[in-house]
Amino acid sequence: MSEPVDDRTLEMFVSRKFHWKSLLPHQQLSMASELLKHRLVEKQMLAFIADSIDDKTAMRQYRNLVKGDE
């Protein structure tokens, strides 16, 4: 398992203070692995939400929760 890249390094990289070539190979691999995992989880989460909202009963329950006790 790769060790996550710390937030400071990510922020420096995104702000373009670091170039990707300045990252160590294990940092590049860690970032790529983390991104791949997040994409997979996000795809599954969005599919779950879409399936839940497509279900009329679930949508009714969601509306009741959002509306609250009136």
Rounded-to-integer distance, Cα 14 and Cα 9, Å: 9
Q: Tell me, what DSSP letter sits at residue 33?
A: H
3-state secondary structure the chain: CCCCCCHHHHHHHHCCCCCHHHCCHHHHHHHHHHHHHHHHHHHHHHHHHHHHHHCHHHHHHHHHHHHCCC
pLDDT given at position 37: 93
Judge if pTM exceeds 0.75.
Answer: no
Running along the chain, 70 residues long, what does each successive block of 10 average in pLDDT?
81 83 86 92 89 78 77
- pLDDT for 12 equals 85
**Residue bearing tokens 């949508």:** 59
pLDDT at position 69: 59
